[in-house]
Structure 1
Amino acid sequence: MNGIDTPEEGLVDRRPIITCAGELEVFSALEDSLSQALPQDSCEWRRALGRPIRSVHIGANFTPFSPSGLPKGNQWDLIRQPLFHVYWTECTDIDAYKTTVRDDIESWLKEITARDIPDWLIVVVENYDGKRTNKLLPRTTVLDKIRADFAPKQGDRCISVINPGRVETRSTDSWRGLVGRIRHLILVAYARAVMRLEDHVRHQREKRNEPGWNFMQYFHLQEELAQVLEMLGLYDEALVQYDELDALFSQFIVNGHIGDAASWLSQFQKPLERWHGLKLGPCKLRKDPSLLELRAYLFAKQAHMLLLTNKIWDVAARCLPFLHICTRELVLLDVTAPAGAISCWLFLACMEVLHTCDRYNQADQVEAYSANTACLWAYASRKLRDLGELCGLMPGEIPTSEQLHTVVGLSAGMGDCPGPSGQPSPTDKLKKALSSQEAFNRNYLELAELAMGTYKHIGHLRSARLIGREVASFYMLLGETQKAAAFLGDVLRTFEQDGWRELAAQAQLELAECHRKAGDTRRFIRACAAVSAAPEIDNLIRWSYFDEMQKCLNSLDKPLVVPFEDIIKIVSVSVKNDGAVMQDSNIEVELVVDSSFPREVLCTSVLISLELENKEHKKMKDKSVNSGRTITTKDLKVHNSALQRLHIQRHLDYKQDKQLSSASVVCRNAPLKRKDSAVASQTSNFDICLEISTLPLVLTPGVNIIRLTKQATDVGKYYLGNVAIHIGKFNLISSCLSQKLIVEVKREEPILRLDKGAAALLSGLEQIMQLSLTVGSYTLPSDTLIKLVASRGLLIQHLPNEPLASSLEINVQNTKPFSVTHMPLRVLAELPSKDHQVTLVCPWASKPIPVLLSFTPLLSTSWRLHTVQHRKFIQITVTGQTEQKLELSMPQLDVRDKIKIIGLNVTDPSSQIITNGLNVSFTWELLITPSIESPTLKAQFSVHYVAVPEEETVVNDTMMRIHMYNFDLTDYQTLYVVEANVEPTKGNEFCRVGALCNLNLCIKLAGHTLDDTSIGSSLMYEVLAEQSIWAVCGRTAGVVSFETDLEPQTVVLDVMPLNTGYLPLPLVRLSKYIPAESTIAEKPRKSAETHPRLEPFSPGQVYNLSKGRQVHVIPATVNDGHVT
């Protein structure tokens, strides 16, 4: 194959040649070990011209030294000549060296240096048995003498190796040094030879336009350089050499077509006599190759380099351009070939590359080379089909004798290339495919299916559909119309999705013919409708298919449902009702459609379905609500998932020290979702639908305006579903309309309100509220009752002369639709309540309606106990809380337990009118006997009030009502009497500012408590002086005790007045003092308290006799020492 005479076994041996001189029996013992050790480790190859350092493995071929085999000076083909020369000796005796070895080395070295060869090495092999001896070591060794005699300035050219056959540390290190040294010197010599070869190749390339230059000679020269690089393991650089040869050859052909052609191109213009298939593997080029053989050889070499670098996908990627270049160059060079020969060669080349990719298949590279093998499968299937058409192997054809001769000639030109047992070669497959129609059909369909499957695998769905179109035409020839229709249907859907209207129209035509041949009337009608509505098709064709559709409609035995698609386009749908549609009124919708039929059609009915909105529809509905009442073509477009917004996220990379390294944006891939090839359409059942009133309707080509109506009988929210246009039993159904357009049919329920009016609600007075009933869209029953239930403390009534009650029922008088009834309601909230609730119970509401009411109290009441020695007085203050004026009268205080009281109140009623913020006080004296015990007294205060009528007020309640207030009196008996006075110190007549004065404090028990020991025995007094008036000097508090002495306790404190004039005395406060021991005894269960505590007295238990007194303070004299 590829113009091969004999296959070559393995790689061309371009290893450097090393000559061996001296004692060859010494080298023979080391030759095998040295040949194996040299290529095991890599070494760095430093090249000139700034090229990068490469790591290579280098071996060597050893041959005996011969002066006749040495290269001559300035010879470029040093690769084929000995490059490195080694002299071996195991002489260790100085005398023996001087007598024989030195002369031999000298003659050997003269032969080398005479030809300007700098690459040589002398190796001395030393063998020691490792035993200790008493002999003295010589001062000079043979190695030292050799270096002194032949390499005084190049000591690295002479080296010794010790016991190379022994497994010892010293021997191993010596052997490793010898191998490394030889490897380095060989690479230096080899690099020099490669550089000379590159210079020669470059020089020959520059002569390519000179007469007598031959491409094939240059081809072998540069191929030798590529083989050298391949031997070194530099497969990428070897590939560059083959690529340069490829490009140079192509350029010569292009230049020869445009201008004068080179003379050597004539050898490639010979008629094509053989078209052996491409063979990827070890091969050898014929001496006189044809164009296809040279091209196949070059591509095989390029593919071999790519396979060595594990770039399998690159082999497949280069194949199709390579095949196109070959076919183009055959045309440019006017190479004549038998019919079908080029197609055979192209098919075989594709199959060889595909088989090679499959053989080197790796799981992690399937995606990479599948993207390139798909086009090869498709190209091979097309070439096989070309051969089938040429040889009469297509379905329905019978090969003629001439076509049979063509098959024989093509098979002969392909040659014989049998594959291994069980694995036929591409040549065997092609010959078998051309042998019979059954084999051809099977092979063609197999290749086409592989091409489609591979295209689908890599996501090239459009390419797969184009191949499917070719397969459909093949199935049409086979008479299998169902399979053809399936492929054409896929092609049609893809063309329509991509917007390729003309291609879709052509596919629709083919699909119509397929259904015609199959005799499928229903699908044929559907295809005829689509063809007749396609504006990309000629009008004559459209009319003919429209007429055939009309004829076939009469033969339908049951309705045929066809989607609108491009047959009828919805321009707009608008609801003419404003707002919600009331029950029993008409829903009006205007439908604007564009008919693509070439002629008028007679419609038997036009419908738009109404779908009741449920939970599923609410989830499916778009989030944005359509603000208008119209939807257009833009709203009806199907959302394309491929155009959805990308989810871009910020991505920050940080270093180990938490500093920002880089910032970028990333796009997360959307999760893959399964998408059906054919989406099931959601069609309504048209149980509830809008209809046209006048039938039949003539639908003309172009825009048509249709009005549809329906009476709204059922309440609910409806969205417009599908549009249906019936032409006899031919039913055209649209896709579901946008769910944004909703028609709401509703009935208005009655509305019941309870309003308080403009003024605030007041507790304690009767006021008027408004109960309003608005009847909805339907008539209420005549016996409809409304029940009102008030909360505790609230009374209501709707009749003027009836007493107030906590609940009542009201009969609705006016029950007509949309009528409004206002009913006044009397309400009264007891004092002092604020918040109340009225519950409205009506028959049309499923739950009672609570109405919260907030009332403002008319009055607020407070009380206070006053003490004069043992006498007690109660002061009650009534304060107004609203702007409503009230007249108070007949105040009364009732104290239980037969306690007598004396009223101290005025009787003038004009002074008892209050409003917001004003108060009136009433005072009574309690006639009680002084005693230690203070039993709780229950008291009740009552006062009559009535609203004062004014012009601006809205309160009409003039009834006299009673306000009652209850309270309790506790700890009201006087226990202690405190008296304090301020006197000047001795020697002073008056109290002066800044001078110390005596505060005399006297604490005594009340008279009725002198014989009672149950009262507290210890008291704490505290002097609370105003800081701007008095300064207390010394202590401000203390404890007095009445345990041993019941006599009054007197305490003298030092105070200093700070201002002049009549100053109030400092305030003295008494508290019960409970020591720490008493605290612990009283609370044994708790943790021990070490601190005493204080308990205050209740108001009325301590009487301050000096409260309200003042002391006269005069200014300080000038001669006082403290005055400055």
Structure 2
Amino acid sequence: MDASEEPLPPVVYTMENKPIVTCAGEQNLFTSIYPTLSQQLPREPMEWRRSYGRAPKMIHLESNFVQFKEELLPKEGNKALLTFPFLHIYWTECCDTEVYKATVKDDLTKWQNVLKAHSSVDWLIVVVENDAKKKNKTNILPRTSIVDKIRNDFCNKQSDRCVVLSDPLKDSARTQESWNAFLTKLRTLLLMSFTKNLGKFEDDMRTLREKRTEPGWSFCDYFMVQEELAFVFEMLQQFEDALVQYDELDALFSQYVVNFGAGDGANWLTFFCQPVKSWNGLVLRKPIDMEKRELIQRREATLLDLRSYLFSRQCTLLLFLQRPWEVAQRALELLHSCVQELRLLEVSVPLGALDCWVFLSCLEVLQRIEGCCDRAQIDSNIAHTVGLWSYATEKLKSLGYLCGLVSENGPNSEDLNRTVDLLAGLGAERPETANTAQSPYKKLKEALSSVEAFEKHYLDLSHTTIEMYTSIGRIRSARFIGKDLAEFYMRKRSPQKAESYLQGALKNYLAEGWALPVTHTRKQLAECQKHLGQVENYLQTSSLLASDHHLSQEERTYFCQEILSFAGWPADSPGTKVVLPMHSFAQLQDLHFDPPNAVVHVGGTLSLEMTVYSQMPVPVHVDQIAVNVHFSIEKNSYRKTAEWLTKHKTPNGIIHFPTEGSPLPASQKSLPALELSEMFERSPSDNSLNTTGIICRNVHMLLRRQESASSLEAPVGVALEDGAHVLRCSSVTLEPGANRVAFRTQAKEPGTYTLRQLCASVGPVWFVLPHIYPIIQYDVYSQEPQLHVEPLADSLLAGIPQKVKFTVTTGHYTVKNGDSLQLSNVEAMLVLCQGENRAVIYSNSREESYTSVFRIQSSDKVTSIGLPATPAYHVIEFELEVLSLPLAPASSGESDTLGTPEIPRRQKDRQKREPCMVTTDHKVSIDCPWSIYSTVIALTFNVPFRTTHSLLSAGTRKYVQVCVQNLSELDFQLAKSNLVDTRGSADLQLTPLNVPSPQHIHSKQSVFFIWELKWMQEPPPALHCQFSVGFSPASEERLSISLKPYIYEFQVESFFWLTTAATGRCVGRAVVLSPCPCLPRPLTECTWK
């Protein structure tokens, strides 16, 4: 409605129906009392207690007092409550007994007989006392005698049905007391009669409703009966109860229509299936539309007639209840449900007629509400009425398209004929709106009269609705109205007005994930941008449409050709670039590095291969595909090795990118699944199925507000990076689907290279992926040469050849012919030279490249290992055999020949339980050709044997026993055992008692050797012995060199009288005293450890 128009004056309707009370007897008497009676009766409220446990209410009783006539009494079968006399009163002021007997008694008798004939038991006799008449009569009886006679004659069992009203026209305390008693009685009897008759009416109505399944039952007849009950409640100003009656009728009719659509139709519904011939909208400006009520009563009403009348009554009661905003809510529901009911009942409706009816009804409801509310109330309750504005706008738009008022050439003859037919169906304007300048009838008629008038009304309605939606924060709904408005502007060739509305609608569709509306809106937006000459925006929208699979192949090809055509045009200025987002043009699927660890040394070559999935429907020739690379160098990164840099890389060098198969935002794709369940509602009386449907149990999760920023539309400005490091692949043709694109680069500077941006250029059009995710990096390192020496076995054993592995990592150094490793010789360790030595040379990726022979030259002080020529960033590996020689014998019994420190007592005890091998370290200095400094390495050798000795006695005979224990994991052969006196005494003889053949000693086992001591003269004070035994591994392999024997030196002092222990190689020295073995006894043993 126009904002400038003044609001209509408030219109308040009241019902004039009141409970009927008949008055018999002296009419002049009642006429004189009536003014006071009509004023006093409704003044005091009465408590109305109803049946079925309904809450009591306080009501004010009013009555319509009419003269008694027999015609007013209800006949049998008449259920009309509005014309039902609820109470019958007989008025008399007779004070004379003769007069009473002559006339009054007969008249009362006739009155009572008539009431009895019609089974009416609700009556009251009122005797009016008048002091003036009493004074004029001299021989009259007291007043009570007349009352007593009346009570005796007519009120034998109901004496309270005769009351006295004293001097009703006077102003005295006695009169007021008499009035109060009379009014209380009148109200009580009236309410009792009303309750009784209303209860009987309700019972009859329920009985009639329960017969609805019987043939011949008519909804129209039942409608009149229940509406009678609603009228009674309205008559008592119980508007809420009256509204309930209409709501029940509404629900009952709706259920029948739904059942009809499900195939369970009632016969009486055929009356409402007749074609619609009039569509003049709702009538809400009078309390009762008697014209439509009569149509319902005669069973001639159409569906729209019934719905219009029913809603008009509901509207009247809601306005009485001061709930105008519920009128708007119910009206919107009614209009939508009527459209569905017409379809369910398959009612024939002329094209456009329903649009006219809805449009007129919307404006009628809005004007009716405006007539009852002030502007402040209307503005604060826009949320309740904006739905009607929107629906009216939608229907007016439909009428405009239907009648040719939006076409470029205007309406044709067919459109004009349709417009005439639609206006004819409106009929003449109603008298109550004839004088209103902006009535719904006039607005519709004017809007359909010309193109200009339609545009004016449609734009006014659209802008008003958008403003209302915006003011209450319903931006989504405002944008959908704007979408329709944009289509109208495009038809009117005003693309500059349409663009903003299309952008808003597209933003909504994207946020909510509606794929098909997104496609449709983008097509409209592309057309709009093309007309406006927005090249960049048009190309971006075209790329999105070219990749949209909801379009046909021809449409996609058209938009792709639009891009290619622009790319083929000569640029206005050289160097001009149109930068577009890449996600609509192509997508990254995976990337493969070669080498797979994405680590390369300086000067090396790195290859990477991308799988690019083209979204275009046709092959596209791309000038170049470039990857912008960001270079960064960390502190000391040049010292990092290839192994360190490979720790956090993928093992196969393949990185997969997340797919973007859906044009919907991530938030929409991550919504929870629908949780649906069936819903059944059954009748509480007979358990029959009333309604069925589907309920979504997690609607609170699905309908949460989505952030408006969640859009897949790329930002307006996509930054094109300019970096010094770029990987390029030129002249590539991208076929629809997956394409492999290869890049190669030679590493120049050490550091970390991060792939930042992917660009594809087609002429001046650049498709840019601003950020490559996940983060992808490759590393370039510069490594120093390194030498690493390690044994091949877990531990090195002294006395036998052992293999040692040399690993030379060349790093940035190139090994030339003549470069060698210079090892300083160690006296106790030999480097064994074999006939031919081979080295294996690996590339940086640890792939075997080739083998090469190298030479070893040894002198007294230096062993030279000639390295094969090897390029930078390679690895040389070779093996050498080394031999740790046994140590020379100790010079005296007091010296520690192995240099083993004194062992604490606790450690001695532990060694007693767990014997361990003695170790010896050899430090070797190596000079490398790439460094002026020597590299010192330490090799630790373990002595495989542990040797102990003991002195045995048998009488005067002495024996020396040597125990050799194998502590290593290898098996050995022991041979040529020998024990000699190092001082070479001729008087002492050591006679071996051992087996001459070689002894096999297993791991963790011991072998014992024994010699008898014999002497010619007095024994020497000390015996210095050296035990030696040859040993070799028990394997069948023959050694290329002869091995030195294992030597164990010890000494025994005062061995004849005292038993003395000397330390061998593995233990310290200790002395143990024992008594002199003079007496013959068994062979005994004393062991020093």
TM category, shorter: 0.5 to 0.7
Counterpart position of 1:597: 616
Which of 727, 736, 761 matches 1:692?
A: 727
Q: Deviation at 1:362?
A: 9.2
Contact 1:682 1:735 in 2 (8 A): no
Q: Deviations over 1:429-485 (max 9, x none)?
A: 111101110111222233344555666677776665555444333222111123333
Aligned residue identity for 2:231: Q
Q: Deviations over 1:408-427 (max 9, x none)?
A: 44334322247487751111
1:533 aligns with 2:536: no
Give the distance between the partners of 1:365 and 1:715, measured in 2 at CA: 75
Counterpart position of 1:282: 287
Q: Deviations over 1:1076-1106 (max 9, x none)?
A: xxxxxxxxxxxxxxxxxxxxxxxxxxxxxxx
Give the distance between the partners of 1:680 and 1:594, measured in 2 at CA: 22
Q: Which runs of 5+ in 1 are unaligned?
A: 1-7, 130-137, 614-625, 647-665, 750-776, 779-1124
Further displaced range: 355-364 or 194-203? 355-364
Counterpart position of 2:1009: none
Give the distance between the partners of 1:715 and 1:361, measured in 2 at CA: 80
Contact 2:592 2:654 in 1 (8 A): yes
1:416 aligns with 2:433: no
| SS of residue matched to 2:550 | coil
Pick closer, same or farther for the CA change 1:393–1:670 going to 2, 3 Å: closer
| SS of residue matched to 1:696 | strand
Aligned residue identity for 1:554: G
Give the distance between the partners of 1:590 and 1:362, measured in 2 at CA: 73
| SS of residue matched to 1:509 | helix
Contact 1:608 1:689 in 2 (8 A): no
TM alignment of 1:289-300, pairs within 5 A = 290-291=301-302, 292-300=304-312
Give the distance between the partners of 2:220 and 2:579, measured in 1 at CA: 71
Aligned residue identity for 2:613: D
Contact 1:502 1:536 in 2 (8 A): yes
1:350 aligns with 2:385: no
Q: Deviation at 1:225?
A: 2.6
Contact 2:625 2:729 in 1 (8 A): no
Contact 2:81 2:232 in 1 (8 A): no
Q: Deviations over 1:161-180 (max 9, x none)?
A: 67767888887676555444
Q: Deviations over 1:972-1017 (max 9, x none)?
A: xxxxxxxxxxxxxxxxxxxxxxxxxxxxxxxxxxxxxxxxxxxxxx
Q: Deviation at 1:20?
A: 3.1
Pick closer, same or farther for the CA change 1:446–1:738 going to 2, 3 Å: farther
Fraction of identical pairs, as percent: 33
1:500 aligns with 2:514: yes
Q: Deviation at 1:342?
A: 3.8
Give the distance between the partners of 2:64 and 2:16, measured in 1 at CA: 13
Give the distance between the partners of 2:372 and 2:749, measured in 1 at CA: 72
Q: Deviation at 1:314?
A: 4.7
Counterpart position of 1:567: 585
Pick closer, same or farther for the CA change 1:321–1:389 going to 2, 3 Å: same
Give the distance between the partners of 2:772 and 2:355, measured in 1 at CA: 54
Pick closer, same or farther for the CA change 1:689–1:330 going to 2, 3 Å: same
Contact 2:94 2:100 in 1 (8 A): yes
Q: Deviation at 1:386?
A: 3.5
Q: Work out the number of aligned pairs and report it.
A: 720
Which of 216, 223, 229 matches 1:225?
A: 229
1:35 aligns with 2:54: no
Q: Which runs of 5+ in 2 are unaligned?
A: 1-10, 133-141, 633-647, 673-699, 785-810, 813-1089
Give the distance between the partners of 1:214 and 1:244, measured in 2 at CA: 16
TM alignment of 1:186-265, pairs within 5 A = 186-202=190-206, 216=220, 218-243=222-247, 245-246=249-250
Aligned residue identity for 2:289: K
Q: Deviations over 1:77-122 (max 9, x none)?
A: 3541322123456789999999997777666555544543222234
Pick closer, same or farther for the CA change 1:26–1:709 going to 2, 3 Å: farther
Give the distance between the partners of 2:252 and 2:579, measured in 1 at CA: 65
Pick closer, same or farther for the CA change 1:169–1:580 going to 2, 3 Å: farther
Q: Deviation at 1:428?
A: 0.8
Contact 1:448 1:471 in 2 (8 A): yes
Further displaced range: 27-36 or 476-485? 27-36
Give the distance between the partners of 1:23 and 1:55, measured in 2 at CA: 35
TM-score (norm 1): 0.52
TM alignment of 1:47-446, pairs within 5 A = 47-48=50-51, 50=52, 52-55=54-57, 57-69=59-71, 71=73, 74=76, 76-77=79-80, 79-88=82-91, 108-109=111-112, 111-113=114-116, 115-123=118-126, 150-151=154-155, 153-154=157-158, 156-159=160-163, 175-176=179-180, 178-202=182-206, 216=220, 218-243=222-247, 245-246=249-250, 269=274, 272=277, 275=280, 278-279=283-284, 281-286=286-291, 287-288=294-295, 290-291=301-302, 292-312=304-324, 314-319=326-331, 322-323=334-335, 326=338, 340-357=352-369, 376-401=388-413, 403-414=415-426, 415-417=428-430, 419=433, 424-446=438-460
Give the distance between the partners of 1:593 and 1:176, measured in 2 at CA: 99
Give the distance between the partners of 2:705 and 2:307, measured in 1 at CA: 47
| SS of residue matched to 2:87 | strand
Aligned residue identity for 2:612: V
Counterpart position of 1:1006: none
TM-score (norm 2): 0.54
Contact 2:419 2:448 in 1 (8 A): yes
| SS of residue matched to 1:410 | helix
Give the distance between the partners of 2:441 and 2:403, measured in 1 at CA: 17
Pick closer, same or farther for the CA change 1:588–1:66 going to 2, 3 Å: same
Give the distance between the partners of 1:506 and 1:217, measured in 2 at CA: 51
Contact 2:629 2:726 in 1 (8 A): no
Give the distance between the partners of 1:339 and 1:81, measured in 2 at CA: 47
Contact 1:563 1:733 in 2 (8 A): yes
| SS of residue matched to 1:80 | coil
Give the distance between the partners of 2:379 and 2:601, measured in 1 at CA: 63
Which of 456, 461, 465 matches 1:447?
A: 461
Q: Which has the higher contact order (CA 8 A, sep 6+)?
A: 2
Pick closer, same or farther for the CA change 1:369–1:574 going to 2, 3 Å: farther
Pick closer, same or farther for the CA change 1:223–1:566 going to 2, 3 Å: same
Counterpart position of 1:472: 486
Aligned residue identity for 1:235: F
Pick closer, same or farther for the CA change 1:145–1:110 going to 2, 3 Å: same
Aligned residue identity for 1:488: L
TM alignment of 1:873-1022, pairs within 5 A = none
Give the distance between the partners of 2:547 and 2:659, measured in 1 at CA: 23
Pick closer, same or farther for the CA change 1:432–1:636 going to 2, 3 Å: closer
Which of 763, 766, 769 matches 1:734?
A: 769
| SS of residue matched to 1:603 | strand
Aligned residue identity for 2:542: C
Contact 1:42 1:55 in 2 (8 A): no
Give the distance between the partners of 2:704 and 2:348, measured in 1 at CA: 55
Contact 1:684 1:721 in 2 (8 A): no
Counterpart position of 1:20: 23
Contact 1:691 1:709 in 2 (8 A): no
Give the distance between the partners of 1:574 and 1:155, measured in 2 at CA: 112
Counterpart position of 1:954: none
Pick closer, same or farther for the CA change 1:379–1:686 going to 2, 3 Å: same
Give the distance between the partners of 1:571 and 1:235, measured in 2 at CA: 70
Q: Deviation at 1:15?
A: 1.6
| SS of residue matched to 2:730 | coil
Q: Deviation at 1:62?
A: 3.9
| SS of residue matched to 1:692 | strand
Counterpart position of 2:568: 554
Give the distance between the partners of 2:660 and 2:402, measured in 1 at CA: 51
Give the distance between the partners of 1:632 and 1:147, measured in 2 at CA: 108
Pick closer, same or farther for the CA change 1:259–1:168 going to 2, 3 Å: same
Give the distance between the partners of 1:185 and 1:718, measured in 2 at CA: 102
